[in-house]
């Protein structure tokens, strides 16, 4: 049976998406698609630029599970595009939203890319990861594969990370760093099984900590429908219990220099070298909603603001 063609963004959607990522940089050179026809160095440089601007423009957030009358997440291409780009309300999404849309952008530009699933580490489960609940993108450039993720929040990767068994250390927000290790994980019965384990450390003086693991197996849309349903509805996931927002801060030179996070009723802003520049504890919903607009550019309408009333995540 012939398979149906994968979903793709329209030329108009691609153009609007790039404008959204580069609103003040109309002169930014964009290689002519398909990107796969360009030299590997050109592809890698442009992929890194897209990743940087995405992390600094589109927040990682779960607001639709709290500030919403329906509290549902759609992974349909047009719904994702309208929410994150089309509506112009400063919105983002959680992993399956941001990475799905970013993957569509990369495919539309002619990158060779597919999606994979990841198991997020659960430190309270004796080192075992949770079931597959995270989405990443795997991009092939030349003969190399790269792990790309725009949907894991503050400790997620900020550069394309090569699937390299020598585990080279990759940059993160200073003084942090990250790496991929190819190894077995706790809980498996076959010791020959290998996973790519994404690890992050806060500074050179601390040890690397696993954050999630994945294989190179391609996941299909039906896999993500199952993952998305559990992640967005189960009271066992923190997504349904706590309001979380995170966005990277871009420096004058175009590099990522810090981030702004909201975790429940607390907002923190970190700057260069990980220095905490600001911390605010919200005393009311009005304060949090105002901070979402002032710090992230997220504008919630009255229906969305009313959606959190009565939920455990509401600030009372």
**Active-site residue set:** 95, 134, 149
60 vs 55: CA distance, rounded Å? 8
Cα distance between residue 26 and residue 206, in whole Å? 41
Would you call 106 helix, strand, or coil by DSSP? helix
Tokens of residue 238, six digits: 């923190």
Please return the burial class of 302, using the count of CB atoms within 10 Å of its CB with bins 0-12, 13-18 and 19+: exposed
Which residue in this structure is represented by tokens 């149906």?
4
How many other C-beta atoms lie within 10 A of the C-beta of residue 175? 14
| Cis preceding linkage at 260, omega within 30 | no
In whole angstroms, how far apart are CA 67 and each of 22, 92, 150, 233, 282? 28, 13, 22, 14, 16
**With DSSP H G I counted as helix, E B as strand and the rest as coil, what are the percentages for the chain, rounded to 5?**
30, 25, 40
Give which of 39, 48, 83 is closest to 62, Cα–Cα: 83
Using alpha carbons, select from 86, 91, 73, 66 the residue that is nearest to residue 305. Answer: 66
Radius of gyration of the chain (CA): 19
Positions of E strands within 184-242:
195-201, 209-218
**Pair of tokens at residue 223:** 């896999």
Distance CA 121, CA 86 (A): 34
For the chain, the residue count is 316
The helix (H) or strand (E) run that includes residue 261 is: strand 256-263
């Amino acid at each position: 049976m012939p398979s149906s063609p994968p979903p793709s963004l329209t030329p108009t959607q691609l153009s609007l998406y790039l404008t959204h990522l580069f609103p003040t940089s109309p002169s930014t050179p964009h290689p002519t698609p398909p990107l796969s026809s360009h030299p590997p160095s050109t592809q890698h440089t442009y992929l890194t630029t897209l990743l940087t601007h995405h992390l600094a423009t589109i927040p990682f957030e779960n607001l639709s599970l709290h500030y919403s009358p329906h509290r549902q997440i759609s992974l349909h291409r047009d719904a994702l595009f309208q929410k994150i780009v089309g509506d112009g309300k400063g919105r983002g999404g959680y992993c399956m939203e941001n990475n799905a849309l970013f993957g569509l952008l990369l495919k539309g530009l002619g990158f060779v890319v597919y999606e994979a699933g990841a198991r997020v580490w659960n430190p309270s489960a004796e080192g075992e990861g949770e079931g597959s609940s995270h989405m990443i993108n795997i991009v092939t450039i030349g003969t190399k594969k790269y792990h790309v993720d725009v949907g894991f929040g503050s400790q997620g990767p900020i550069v394309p990370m090569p699937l390299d068994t020598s585990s080279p250390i990759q940059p993160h927000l200073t003084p942090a760093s990250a790496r991929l290790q190819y190894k077995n994980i706790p809980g498996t019965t076959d010791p020959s099984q290998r996973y790519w384990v994404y690890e992050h450390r806060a500074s050179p003086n601390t040890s690397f900590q696993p954050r999630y693991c994945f294989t190179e197996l391609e996941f299909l849309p039906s896999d993500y429908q199952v993952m998305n349903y559990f992640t967005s509805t189960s009271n066992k996931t923190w997504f349904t219990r706590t309001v979380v927002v995170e966005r990277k801060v871009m420096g004058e030179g175009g590099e990522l220099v810090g981030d702004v996070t909201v975790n429940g009723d607390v907002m923190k802003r970190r700057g260069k070298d990980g220095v905490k520049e600001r911390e605010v504890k919200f005393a009311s919903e009005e304060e949090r909603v105002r901070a979402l607009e002032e710090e992230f550019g997220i504008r919630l309408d009255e229906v969305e603001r009313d959606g959190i009333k009565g939920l455990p995540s509401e600030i009372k």
